[in-house]
Structure 1
Amino acid sequence: MSTDAAGSRRPCVVAIADTDSYVKWAAALLGGVGERWDASLLVFETPLVVSDAQLASALSGSGLSRDRVERIDYRRLVARLTELRVDAVVIGARGPLVRVLARDLMALPQRPVVVTGLPGISIPATRKAVVYRLQCDLFVVHSRREVREFGALSARTGYAHRYALATLPFARGARVAGRSGAAAEEGGGDLVFAAQAKVPAERGDRLSVARLLVRAAEADPSRRVVLKLRAGSGEHQTHAELDCYPELLASLGPLPPNLVTSVAPMRKALSTAQGLVTVSSTAAIEAIARGIPVIALDTFGVSPELINETLADADLLAGEEDVVARRFRHPDPEWLDDNYFHVPEADDWTDEVEALVAQRAAGRLPRRRDHPRRGGRLRDAWERKIALGRSDTSGAGAVAYAVGQPARTVVRLANRVRRLVGPGAQQPGPAGSSAHERSTSAVRTSTTRTS
């Protein structure tokens, strides 16, 4: 048991996270509370769990020391939480896993407060993000705009949630530059490209990015172009990456010697950066926080699927020629307060957690219901098996998977056929064009940008 200077017991708050982005987020989120709580992190074993190198990278600069972190598997989780006498659990994971763990925690006789959140830019607010997390008591978001948009989504759908505001951990201590760039810290000459697993999604688009990096390196051999990767060979990411940039670059033939790859922590990569290029990575927020200018690549348009609408609103969009010429941009100052750079005093997530912990201690914390679903316990076992993969060794999970996997294939096939033959079915576009190509021009013409 930990106590504060006055001898009072500090709340015991434990984060559970598995993948690279969520481990980095959870460690930095709890690392920022200082001595206010007895905080620790359980790295949860799933097929996508971080490697030791990824864990070290995530903890670097987080404020959470390595001795406050341990790895744990599903079978030992409840027992360990009981040993720690947890008051609150922060679940940092993909939606399906949050649902499974929140359901388990909700079933405990003296269940903890259950907190969740998303590890970066979360605009647009999505129905799935909310539904998967319905059994959580508190949903942490990172900007005034996200509070507003998630609240509006809950109002429209009836999926009630309690939202709280926390400064994005990677934006703490911001030294944001306006368009003058006056606040930019001394860095280096690197053009850093923040790779993402799913954005852009099409192989052809990702190959275009790879060619752009080569062009940028060839344009100025005296300065580096750094491809900042989320994972090294054999390591996993939060999202599966089908067409990784190192392989795409290798297909282009001999590369300029000043085009290099890095799996170092983003904070280290930015320490030698002249500017950052991305499509929509949260690394843009991290760079802005350090006064480093950014280009949000506009080659693929602006859309919810690209997760770049908020960067467009910041007036950070620029084209490939701007990347090659290194014409980086600083955000519109009017964008900052509503988007990740509000004053620290506006944060209320720690107060909200402590209010819920007090309700729990008084026996007044209500149990939250999950989204209604068909299938009962077999459905629960299926969802657990899908979320945990080989980490779920239960017989019920094996049975549910054997029954559910063929059924899901049939349902998906039926839905695909229904979309193809039903009213309003999408007509094929010009020969040789992809769905992305056919939609890009419409996206570009319909999107507006604030200045």
Structure 2
Amino acid sequence: MPHAPRRIAVLADSDTRWKWGASVARQIAPDHALDAYFLRTRATPTERQLAEVGIVPDTQREVTAAELVDDEEFASADIVVLSVIGGTALALVHSLGLAWQLRPQRPVTVTGYVGVVYEKMVDGLLTRAGADLVLANSGYDCGRFRTVFANVGIDPETVVECALPFLGGDPYVPSTDRPFTLTFAVQPSVPSKKERLLLLERAAAHARRYPERRVLMKLRSLPGEQTTHVEANPYQELIENLAEPAPPNLELVYGNMGEVLDRTDLLVTVSSTAALESMHRNIPTAILTDFGVREAHGNHYFVESGCLASWDDLDGGALPRVNPEWAAAQGIGKSDPYAGARARIAALRAAGPLPQLRPYYTPQRAGIYLGGLLARNGFDEKGRPLPVQPATLDRSLKAAVRGVTRRGARRLYRMGHKRVAPTLRRWGQA
């Protein structure tokens, strides 16, 4: 009888974390069947968002974190990638550790970060502790993570150096077959609404200054869609508020970032991870300074990259190139960066039954903190699903209805204000 194919399960709570988790799965277990589990949250990926990532799983389903505790399919996977926020990772390592402790075999567990770690490093790192592998996206991060783990008594070898899994694509070669293309990679949470409108005005001004260029605003989501961070002021709406109509060579685009980079000659962003994808391909990359170099914006992470620039610099023709030494420290250009992770997984499997999963935070060490995170994810202290109260279901249903109603009302108002009202006024004047 043929052996069942090996399986890797990826649990993700948003489109960006699915992109990271699925890309990691392809790197560490390219011959495994891929099972996708999507947490049922405000940011559960839509079909359009999944198609944009471009990795098609063999199976997929939506779940709550608590449903996974007794899920036999999830427990029988060979590898589980927890591509979720730190608090959810902690709740799952705690609860799955208790649920799986009597199993003769359990999955190898893997977790990590979607992008660069520029804030709350210790906070996020200790909530991920306890997984078999904590992936570090660069040598720089690996050193920092191992130091923290060693100082709090966690095996530092749990941290494995790799790179962002979606770095790839052909090296940049200028093309004469298409217009020079500047791509701005937007982010949902920075900058503020006022600053986003100013940024859009500068992009439009650059497009007018260089009518032979294409200026693309690479969007993350459709209005109403959610991603890892809430986008309160989408550029699709702000573009209607420009002081002058948008020039024809300024375009709002969607799509896979790698495919957009295939036709990009200059990548501009405040601090998006897309900058690292661009640098990896040696595309000129600008980290905007117009709103300051600030921890709140995350662009301080790129201070040593050599790519800080303003719109004035770009209007003047600047084409920043990344500092090679800084790039190497960030895992950019690394050959086969996941070899170490594959070797670690093979060694764990060869060593026999895996030990029980044990997070750093336990009821004895941080009971109040752990208890809050467990409850938030639907677990009690023993790792069992909390009973669902009718009042909770009622509140969830009401919240969902309110959200749909508010979004529908906003769209109807915009349509009425911009389309129906002018028509009615014209009829009244006829």
TM-score grouping bracket, smaller chain normalisation: 0.7 to 0.9
Q: Which residue of 2 aligns with 1:422?
A: none
Q: Which residue of 2 aligns with 1:25?
A: 20
Q: Which residue of 2 aligns with 1:55?
A: 50
- CA distance in structure 1 between the partners assigned to 2:161 and 2:27 by the alignment: 14
Q: Which residue of 2 aligns with 1:128?
A: 123
Could you tell me the TM-score, scaled by structure 1's length? 0.74
- CA distance in structure 2 between the partners assigned to 1:297 and 1:251 by the alignment: 22
Q: Name the Cα RMSD after superposition.
A: 3.2
The amino acid of 1:317's aligned partner reads L
Q: Which residue of 2 aligns with 1:247?
A: 237
Could you tell me the TM-score, scaled by structure 2's length? 0.77
1:373 to 366, 384, 398: 366
| Per-residue deviation, 1:283 | 0.5
| Per-residue deviation, 1:342 | 5.0
Q: Secondary structure at the match of 1:46?
A: coil
Q: Which residue of 1 aligns with 2:334?
A: 343
Contact 2:276 2:332 in 1 (8 A): no
The amino acid of 1:232's aligned partner reads L
| Per-residue deviation, 1:241 | 1.8
Contact 1:121 1:307 in 2 (8 A): no
Q: Which residue of 1 aligns with 2:90?
A: 99
The amino acid of 1:338's aligned partner reads A
Q: Structure 1 residues 374, 25: CA separation in 2 closer, same or farther (over 3 Å shift)?
A: same
- CA distance in structure 1 between the partners assigned to 2:60 and 2:2 by the alignment: 18
1:89 to 52, 55, 80: 80
Q: Would you say 1:46 and 2:36 are equivalent positions?
A: no
- CA distance in structure 1 between the partners assigned to 2:342 and 2:45 by the alignment: 27
Contact 2:36 2:57 in 1 (8 A): no
Q: Structure 1 residues 352, 370: CA separation in 2 closer, same or farther (over 3 Å shift)?
A: same
| Per-residue deviation, 1:280 | 0.9
- CA distance in structure 1 between the partners assigned to 2:264 and 2:387 by the alignment: 48
Matches within 5 A, 1:369-448: 369-371=359-361, 372-375=365-368, 379=372, 382-385=375-378, 394-395=387-388
- Greater CA drift, 245-254 or 311-320: 245-254
The amino acid of 1:217's aligned partner reads A
Contact 1:14 1:39 in 2 (8 A): yes
The amino acid of 1:85's aligned partner reads S
Cα deviations by residue, 1:154-202 (Å, 9 ceiling, x for unpaired): 3455566521122322213663xxxxxxx536475221111112233x3
- CA distance in structure 1 between the partners assigned to 2:342 and 2:124 by the alignment: 21
- CA distance in structure 2 between the partners assigned to 1:260 and 1:112 by the alignment: 45
Q: Would you say 1:356 and 2:312 are equivalent positions?
A: no
Q: Would you say 1:284 and 2:280 are equivalent positions?
A: no
Q: Which residue of 2 aligns with 1:184?
A: 173
| Per-residue deviation, 1:395 | 2.2
Matches within 5 A, 1:7-26: 11-26=6-21
5+ long unaligned stretches in structure 2: 380-384, 396-430
Count residues in correspondence.
377
The amino acid of 1:40's aligned partner reads D
Q: Would you say 1:152 and 2:141 are equivalent positions?
A: no
Q: Structure 1 residues 35, 294: CA separation in 2 closer, same or farther (over 3 Å shift)?
A: closer
Q: Secondary structure at the match of 1:344?
A: coil
The amino acid of 1:384's aligned partner reads N
Q: Which residue of 2 aligns with 1:234?
A: 224
Q: Secondary structure at the match of 2:43?
A: coil
- CA distance in structure 1 between the partners assigned to 2:265 and 2:14 by the alignment: 29
Q: Which residue of 2 aligns with 1:423?
A: none
Q: Secondary structure at the match of 1:299?
A: coil
| Per-residue deviation, 1:232 | 0.9
| Per-residue deviation, 1:22 | 0.5
- CA distance in structure 1 between the partners assigned to 2:295 and 2:146 by the alignment: 18
Q: Secondary structure at the match of 1:227?
A: strand
Contact 1:184 1:290 in 2 (8 A): no
| Per-residue deviation, 1:80 | 4.7
Q: Would you say 1:317 and 2:308 are equivalent positions?
A: yes
Q: Which residue of 2 aligns with 1:6?
A: none
Q: Which residue of 2 aligns with 1:263?
A: 254
Cα deviations by residue, 1:203-239 (Å, 9 ceiling, x for unpaired): 3332321221121122122322111111112211101
Contact 1:142 1:165 in 2 (8 A): yes
2:193 to 196, 203, 209: 203
Contact 2:29 2:342 in 1 (8 A): no
Identity of aligned residues (%): 26
Q: Secondary structure at the match of 2:377?
A: helix
Q: Which residue of 2 aligns with 1:273?
A: 264
Q: Would you say 1:193 and 2:184 are equivalent positions?
A: yes
